[in-house]
Structure 1
Amino acid sequence: MAEPRGPSARDVKKARQLVRHRSHQLSKTTAALVTAQSRLDRLAAEVERLVEAYNGEMVRLHRAEQAHQQATARLAAADAEVERARQDVALLAAESYGGLGTVKPYMAMLADRGGTEGFLHRASVLGYLEEEQAAVMRRLRDAQEVATILRTQAARAHAERLAAAESVRKAKIAAEKAVARQRRETKELMARKTTLQRKVNAARARARLLARRRNAALSGLVRGGSRLGDVAANWALTQLGKPYVWAAAGPDTYDCSGLTMRAWEKAGVRLDHWTGTQWTSGPHVPLDQLRRGDLLFFAHVSGDPSTIHHVGIYVGRGQMVHAPQTGDVVRVASIWRGDLVGATRPR
């Protein structure tokens, strides 16, 4: 069978132009991703500030409520003292203007004594009564003044409590609105980020594919059926951009072992749809002796094949084609990852 004709000079030129165009798109989408992430970070910081402002207002509200309760209690005590003093004044007034009352013993005593000595005694008793009246009046006046001061304090505490409550209400509304806005914008930004990332991945994979095909065509490395590994690797490169779907094995979606199974199927080698048996599908190959089509395995525990969780297919120059994960697409990537455990050459 005749070998397929390589790309013409026109094809190579168009390929290079497409690479430059894809690279430009990649730069633009990457910049857009950076901008989107920056907006998301600023919004998160603003929400944190508002939530902390709300927390501060809650602390101040609690303190204002305590101050109001204390002022109310003191005012109640002062009002009670005013009432007691008022009762004493009322009793004193009744005794002074309404008859003998509790003053009767003093009046009798005054009536029993005569002469100069009696006069002096009566004068001292009357002086004592006047002092008692003055003391009662002073106590009433003092109690009223204290009550007035405490009433003012209670009113101020009440006003501060109301103001604090209003501040809390406004801060809470502001925080809730900011949180709602953050959730909404985050959802929109994450959707845009996913879309942009897919475009980045597709652009990168397409650019690498064009560069690889161009170089292969110019150097004569790509020849149909030259080696089983080449067949598998070349077919895998035709699947770039197709979405990753768990447990899928083509033709429109793949998971990692589904892609490698189909690639080697094209070369006439049957593999199971499972990394466990694909690891044992042929001899293990040292990483410095890799050939196109070799399967590369990655594990949770370096050096422990029993923890293998991912597989890709080697396409040369330290690169592999693989189906990475949910939300991603089949693409070209470097084989040099920290979880690389080894390679197998199926047969």
Structure 2
Amino acid sequence: MKKARQTARDRSKELGAVTAKLATAQSQLDGLAAEVERLVEAYNGELVRLRQAERVYAQSSARLAAADAEAERVRQEVALLATESYGGMAPMAPIIGMITDRGDREGALHRAGMLAQLWGERAAVLSRMDDAQQVAAILRTEAANAYDAQQAASERAGAAKSAAEAAVARQQEQTKELRARTVVLRHQVDKARSHAKLLAQQRAAALPRLVSGGSATGDVAANWALTQLGKPYVWAAAGPDTYDCSGLTMRAWERAGIQLDHWTGTQWTAGPHVPLDQLKRGDLLFFGYVKDDPSTIHHVGIYVGDGQMVHAPQTGDVVRVASIWRGDLVGATRPQ
């Protein structure tokens, strides 16, 4: 009996030690994951800015091409005038007529009017050429600036991608042993818990649909997100087989007919901010380093009810259901 009690105490002590180690390991994993998510979302943001810069450059290039075409057309008119002036007598006919027809006052006045009109037309052509050249020069500067902006955005996106890749590689290396100890068991528990919660959520979602004959956009987004449980997290991925956090929420709300960027930065501003005591299914939940500073956001999930969310957590994990009540919860948005 004494030996049995001692064994029980030893097992209890061992369990306490393992639990403490697991808590420490999980804290390390959470820290690594948060840093990786921050860098991944920074990369997603740079991709959004790069697409914007590419659109601006394409528009500037199109305007420049049109201006160059107009300048070339006017240059051809000027070249034709030059040819007429130096290659033949036709333009000089009014002047010659004025010299030879001294007795024909009416004819001389007519020819003088023709000469004034001719020079007026030439002056107008030259003025149009000057205007066209100035417009083309302005647009050429604009296009060059847009190109520089596009190149800078491309370089920033490349640097952000490299930083994210390096962070993911560090995370994978540093957490290998920790995952070996914890991830298998955690996935087994989460899989069972997620399956149970999925059934509960589906039952809860079915009742209002039967009563109302339909579901709100938030329900559409939340219900679709629940169908993605178990799919692996891959940074910068947006489905259909793998996701990162903002890729999952983007696709969920896409199913509800609302387009979001693949970036927590703009998803945070995609609709009104919602008090946490007024959450509805489908609302986006944001997590950051500083509770009152949205600029530190590094993660997003989608609310499915009962204090739970669906999210794509981190490298080595899968889309799953989890509690929304984390220390880094900074707020919620209802996309519109």
Q: Shorter chain as normaliser: what TM range?
A: 0.3 to 0.5
| TM score, norm. by length of structure 1 | 0.46
| Bigger Rg, which one | 1
| TM score, norm. by length of structure 2 | 0.48
